[in-house]
A = this chain, B = another copy of it.
Amino acid sequence: MHRTPIMTCEALDRLAGARLFFKCENLQKAGAFKSRGACNAVFSLSEKQARRGVLTHSSGNHAAALARTARLRGIPAHIVMPQNSRRVKIDAVRSYGGSLTLCEPTLPSRESTARRVQEETGATFIHPYDDARVIAGQGTAAVELLEQVPDLDVLIAPVGGGGLLSGTLIAAKQMRPGIRVLAAEPKLADDAYRGWKTGRFVAVERSDTVADGLRTSLGKLTFPIIMDLVDEILLASEDAIVDATRQTLERAKTVVEPSAAVPLAALIENDVRLDGQRVGVILSGGNLDLSDLPW
């Protein structure tokens, strides 16, 4: 793993009304925080398990991270991806030597296709987020951020399946019991928000948010962790997500994918009243498709 740097940008601070400290997981290996969880999971397998390889279904960054980590350990990686995944993410899996199977862009299709591949290969399934080894790995981004910027008032992470958010919550609330941890979610995939408001698990109903890394529902492990520990879940509109993505490239000169811009979008769009507080923002990934920009 890279110990990724912290980036600051006065222009983005002005937009958000807070002092932002961006944890640059867009500069992580394979371009996203997903490398952390994949690495923790793959290297915790026994020799016997590892020999038959690993398997996952993912909208992209977990897939690339798993393929890369499997190659580091010298074992096969079988990847099931929705056929509407972004080209840049499909290419990344191929470039890391992953064995690719495309499926319909629905959770049932992803799961049934993955089951079939698992029966054929005997590979160990590494869930993109609902796996304790993965959650623990993702939490290391927050651990580093709190070491690099010790005096944060608030931390904010995007939420899709909830692996990053769960790991962030466990790490941050342990290291700094007084810290506020917020989550940011696209309005078009607001299952975590609705679950948090009602206390009951709800599934995502559509899969068309531009934040393609956040199209999934929470899992059996991540749902209770998030309900227990998160302080607030903020929503972001599609327009705000696209604008925050663009502002991050234009003002901070750093390349992020739309999912990574959801926290900034939510801070700008909601009346959070941070009044200049010090806010850690996990910039989750940088795998933006430069041939198909969202603006």
Task: Point out residues on A near B: beta carbons under 8 Å.
Answer: 5, 24, 26-27, 31, 88, 246, 249-250, 253-256, 286, 288, 290-291, 293, 295
Q: Is the CB of A291 within 8 A of B286?
A: no
Q: Decide: B290 and A290 in contact? CB cutoff 8 A.
A: no
From B5, B246, B290, B295, contact of A250 by CB (8 A) = B290
Q: List 23 A-B contacts (CB under 8 A).
A: A5-B5, A24-B253, A26-B253, A27-B253, A31-B253, A88-B250, A246-B290, A249-B255, A249-B288, A249-B290, A250-B255, A250-B290, A253-B254, A253-B255, A253-B256, A253-B286, A254-B254, A254-B255, A255-B255, A290-B293, A290-B295, A291-B295, A293-B293
Supply 8 further A-B pairs (C-beta < 8 A) apart from A253-B256, A255-B255, A291-B295.
A5-B5, A26-B253, A88-B250, A249-B255, A249-B288, A249-B290, A254-B254, A254-B255
Q: How many Å from the CB of A224 to the closest CB on chain B?
A: 34
Which 6 residue pairs are nearest across A and B when measured between Cβ atoms?
A253-B255, A253-B286, A26-B253, A249-B255, A27-B253, A250-B290
Return chain B residues, CB-CB under 8 Å to A293. 290, 293
Output the residue of A24, A31, A255 with the most chain B CB within 10 A. A255
Contacts of A253 in B (CB 8 A): 24, 26-27, 31, 254-256, 286
Q: Which residues of B contact A5 (CB under 8 A)?
A: 5
Distance of A243 from chain B, by nearest CB (Å)? 12
List, in ascending order, chain B residues with CB within 8 A of A256's CB.
Answer: 253
